[in-house]
Amino acid sequence: MSESPESLPRRHQIEVPTELVVGVPADFASVWHTPESFVIDFLSARGPAQIVDDQGGPVLSQDLVVSARVRMPPTHVIELMKALERQLSTWETQTGQRSPVEPPHPDL
């Protein structure tokens, strides 16, 4: 009697192509969704933020460029959130640092 694929332990062989090993810079992330997928845009700042006048009041303006876009099915987002939490807890334990309670920048 053979086991069903769902009951078997899983193992993944992950290969990072040479051109992706270094990664891309990301100062911000923007998360949004469509009915079929969640999208995470990783953004990099283009120069320093500037205070500009926008229709009657000062606004802190930052030019950003998307350095990477990732689309994921909703079922995978749950696993991503769990993995991020595990890695953040490990990082906090290893470094003795705590992540900020409130992010320094609002969601984009």
C-beta separation of 26 from 68 below 8 A: yes
Q: Which two tokens stand for residue 71?
A: 């689309």
pTM over 0.75: no
What percent of the chain lies above the pLDDT cut of 70?
91
| Residue 37 in domain | yes
| Residue 18 in domain | no
C-beta separation of 36 from 58 below 8 A: no
| Residue 4 in domain | no
pLDDT digit string, tens, across residues 57-78: 898 889 999 999 999 999 999 9
| Residue 70 in domain | yes
Q: Which two tokens stand for residue 27?
A: 């100062």
Overall domain count for the chain: 1
Q: Which two tokens stand for residue 22?
A: 């270094």
**Helical (H) or strand (E) element with 58:** strand 58-61
Structural domain containing residue 78? 24-95
pLDDT band at 5 (very low <50, low <70, confident <90, very high): confident
The label of the residue with tokens 């700042």 reads: 45
